[in-house]
Chain A
Amino acid sequence: MHFQEQRPRGPRSRAARLRLRTPLLSILLVIGCGGDDGGPSAPTDGGPAAQARTEAVASLASEVIVPAYRDFAAAAAELETATATWRDSGSEDDRAAAQEAWRRAIDLWQRAEVMQVGPAGAMDVTVGGEDLRDAIYSWPIVNRCRVDQELVEEAYVDVDAFAAENVNVRGLDAMEPLLFVEGEGNGCAPNSSINRDGLWAPIVSELPARRAAYAATAAALVRRDADALLARWEGGFLAEMTEGGELFPTAQEALNALSDAMFYLDKETKDMKLAEPAGLSDVCVAEVCPELRESLYANRSIEHVANNLRGFRAVFTGSETGTGFDDLLVLNGAETLATDMLAAIDAALATADAIEGDVPTALAADPDALMPLYEAIRALTDLLKTQFLGVLDLELPQRAEGDND
């Protein structure tokens, strides 16, 4: 910009100055005040690609995630009823019915594990996270000994008070030993207080009844938490996510959150649920470590992995009629990737189905038994972390800024 030394001043000079100054100031104000940390910006209609992303978020949230939570809430209610019946009768048939109700509930929850968007997610890492997931299922934060200590203390008799207990003594994970462990032993070390101080031996005769009562309390809390999670979504978070708000100013940011939840398959399913018992992680010091499997008492570890894959598939493909990530890939010119990912999901599911028995049985027969499933899921997560993120321009939720890519 070059300014002449002498410029004739006329009656319009002030207006001219304002005309020149206003756009300049506006530009500087917009750059200075907005930005990645400047709060929500008004979404525009955008073009067809933007519209597709908006539709995908709406469809995945309202036709995949909310129905998954609704189904789980119904299963949690059935579990509450079944455990209450077992508590009241103490019969083996009712215990078996409670076990079956737990299996139905955990199967549905394992699908929802890959949908930890918003309230279910961890508070410090998930956008809108409220830690509600841990109250329902806190794995890998589990502690059989703490559950047995609660059996001694009987704090579970007061449901409301028990709701304030740590997540590792309630939820579906705490219910697993209560429903599936038989016998008189406990999960604590000999020097633990319940063994050292002789607190366990006096309750051995009451164990079946105590376990049933504790399970009923835990199931009541799971039902409560499931209802709370569903209510949180239907009562505002669904609108927050689909209509653009402070948490998700754009559909792209909501998609980022959805894709981030899908990484459960990489970090938890592949690197923990499979790599640790398969002896691929140095957490396992022996050749294989079946004791590091997820489901120690109901022996449903492989089924849990399969249900994680089913949940992943549901998010990837969306509902029957709605837009899923696969549709977005096609719209963005990556039809082959959409096909490859779907094939990888189905291949991993087929591999899981081909494993006979649960982890201990499979590893006893063949120490490499989990390798095909591990590799099948890795093939899928490689696609997820590379071309999938690239084509859809998905970012980590907490990424700050960059000029290098």
Chain B
Amino acid sequence: MGEAAREHSGRLARLWEAAHAPVSPGSLVAFRVLFGLLAFVGAVRFLANGWVERFFERPRFFFHYWGFEWVEVLSPAAMQAAFVALAVLGLMIAAGLFYRVAIVAYFLLFTYVELIDVTNYLNHYYLVSLLAFWMALMPLGRVRGLDGRLFGGARRTLPRWMVWALRLQVGVVYFYAGLAKLTGDWLLHAQPLGIWLGSRGEAPLIGALVQHEWAPLVMSWAGFLYDTTIPFWLSWRRTRGPAYGLLLVFHLCTHLLFTIGMFPLIMSAAATVFFAPDWPRRFAKRFMKRFHERASKGDAEGAAAAGAGSRRAPAMSPARLALAGGLVLVAAVQVLAPLRAHAYGGDVLWHEQGMRWSWRVMCREKDGSVLYRVRVPGRRRELRVPPSRYLTPHQEREMSGQPDLILQLAHHIRDEYVVRHGEGVEVRVDALASLNGRPMARLIDPEVDLATVEDGLAPAEWILPGPDEAPVRWAHGESR
């Protein structure tokens, strides 16, 4: 073995040791409980608001994800049951009861539900799936969970890589959400925030504040700086406390201003993974004396065990290295995948290639109008087919700005008309969109027969370039 190889091997061994160094499980236990409770609340509010019926029973057509065309919606009763199951699984996760089964089932079921229809895509739903995936790799039921009490094998420490994995995942979300705002629209024209704040004058507590002329630009810059840097402030011990306080204020504001459901709660809970692994014990000791006294014995033992390095790093067997390599690959995909949009050139907010899975959270106001023109054999005039014939208003609104979904419905229309009229059906579209208040422009080439176009990862020639002009100027009613 050469010198370089030995040095490389030594670095890997040190990294392996560091990744498996035992740490207090406190922060991950707290995260498990918070995640489980939020999973429960999320499923219950879906049922209570009638959203299962609205999003999974009412639509007659569902948009599939590329590569997941085989995913189909279940019967109405089964969809209701799926959400009941998600709620129950959330409670099981929180309690650490049959944890492995519960978290794996939750990951699979939640991901399935999200894969049913692209128009339901939300970045924070995607995050929930990813967090559940990472949690499925962690024995969190054995630490302060019912599994440890009922079945034995309770653990007092966890390897450090588990904390790293969740911090990386949450950090990636914030960082790329910030990077997505590094645009002229956001930083120079304060759009779409100007549009949104203009309609939020009646928001509780801060409605009047956000109506000031300076508010959109200041908040645009603040949002950009906050998102891109908060993972680093949270990672640094000295700034962690104030940074988390700022995080709570930030998410409170987004909750008051925007209809983004569980997102503020999910991110506020997820960001706790940046605290020291034993933060719950320290928190209890400082603020919850009685609870702390009751729990301190076990925690002290855990801390002592962590400090003493009671669990040695497992040997670097080929199987373990392969598994670790797989996890590093997943992490690398998380870091790199959001960058893929830049490979397409142009404005991703316009052509949307590389838009999903890249944490472009709240950075566009896009509204479209779509009308299909269908030419069938033996008919002189093109038929006009409005999307509303197939879609719910929610689906139509979401589809109208996303070219791949417009293409998907074009294919569905083609297939339907081929059955009725035979081969030779041509489908073109008049798709117009307005991005951040700009005058509408054509999104898709109206001359292209979409019946012959296949979706894929290559740059789509049938999507027209976005408009060059500036977005609508931010006005706050000064001309009245």
Contact = CB atoms under 8 A, between A and B. Distances in A.
A333 B477 CA distance: 9
A405 B362 CA distance: 5
B380 A390 contact: no
B252 A30 contact: yes
Interface stretch (B148-156, B237-245, B314-322): B237-245
Interface in A321-359: 330-334, 336-337
Given A271-B386, A334-B472, A403-B123, A17 B203 contact: no
Contacts of A24: 248
B253 to A, nearest CB: 10
Given A390-B365, A400-B51, A403-B123, A271 B388 contact: yes
A29 B384 CA distance: 50
A386 B287 contact: no
B198 A332 contact: yes
B477 A52 contact: yes
B85 to A, nearest CB: 21
A251 B202 contact: yes
Contacts of B122: 401-404
A98 to B, nearest CB: 37
Contact of B393 (A31, A390, A398): A398
B475 A332 contact: yes
A52 to B, nearest CB: 5
Q: Chain B contact residues (Cβ within 8 angstroms of A): what range? A: 35 or more
Contacts of B361: 403-404
Contacts of A280: 381-384
A189 interface: no
Given A2-B237, A399-B397, A48 B384 contact: no
B384 A403 contact: no
A133 B122 CA distance: 36
Interface string A372-405: 0010001001111111011111011011111111
A50 B473 contact: no
B268 A385 contact: no
Contact of B255 (A34, A49, A250, A275): A34
B286 interface: yes
B207 interface: yes
A206 interface: no
A35 B440 contact: no
A254 to B, nearest CB: 10
Interface string A353-374: 0000000000000000000001
A48 B433 contact: no
A197 interface: no
A126 to B, nearest CB: 12
Given A281-B384, A287-B380, A391-B195, A27 B252 contact: yes
Given A1-B240, A34-B256, A47-B211, 13 more contacts: A17-B287, A31-B268, A41-B204, A47-B208, A48-B478, A49-B201, A281-B383, A282-B420, A385-B400, A387-B439, A390-B195, A399-B394, A401-B122
25 contacts: A1-B245, A2-B275, A24-B248, A43-B202, A49-B198, A54-B202, A252-B200, A281-B383, A281-B384, A331-B475, A332-B437, A332-B475, A333-B472, A378-B371, A382-B440, A385-B368, A385-B400, A386-B434, A387-B440, A390-B472, A393-B199, A398-B54, A398-B393, A399-B397, A405-B364
Interface of A: 1-5, 7, 17, 20-21, 24, 27-28, 30-32, 34-37, 41-54, 244, 249-252, 266-267, 271, 275, 279-282, 287, 330-334, 336-337, 374, 378, 381-387, 389-393, 395-396, 398-405
Q: Lowest 3 CB-CB distances: which A-B pairs, in order?
A: A50-B201, A47-B211, A46-B201
